[in-house]
Amino acid sequence: MLPSLMVDFIISLDGYAAADGWPGFWGLAGPEYLGWLEEQAQHDHQALKALRGVAERELDQRWARNTMLNKWLEYCIDRGHGFRP
């Protein structure tokens, strides 16, 4: 079983998390929360590192497949083949 992952994403009223002129954390920046954030930052998140490696490999494989498909389609079009929806 993979460990759980909790993410705090606090957005501003404009929906872009810019919050120009607004204070950060929206009143949540108490010592307990800031301490917890510091503690979490010190952990070695092996599960995230493993997922990152899997995602990178998957992206590389998909990129290679799409590149080959694109080359094949260009070859077919160059030879006068048409494709219907």
> Tens of pLDDT along 5-37?
777 776 666 666 666 666 566 667 778 888 887
Look-up: residue for tokens 């909790």?
Answer: 6
- Residue 16 is predicted with a pLDDT of 66
Residue type, 39: E
Residues 26 and 61 grouped into a single domain: no
Residues 38 and 50 grouped into a single domain: no
Residues 77 and 66 grouped into a single domain: yes
> Distance (Å, rounded) from C-alpha 9 to C-alpha 53?
23
Residues 29 and 52 grouped into a single domain: no
Residues 12 and 34 grouped into a single domain: yes
CA dihedral 6, 12, 13, 15 (to 10 degrees): -70
- pTM for this one? 0.38
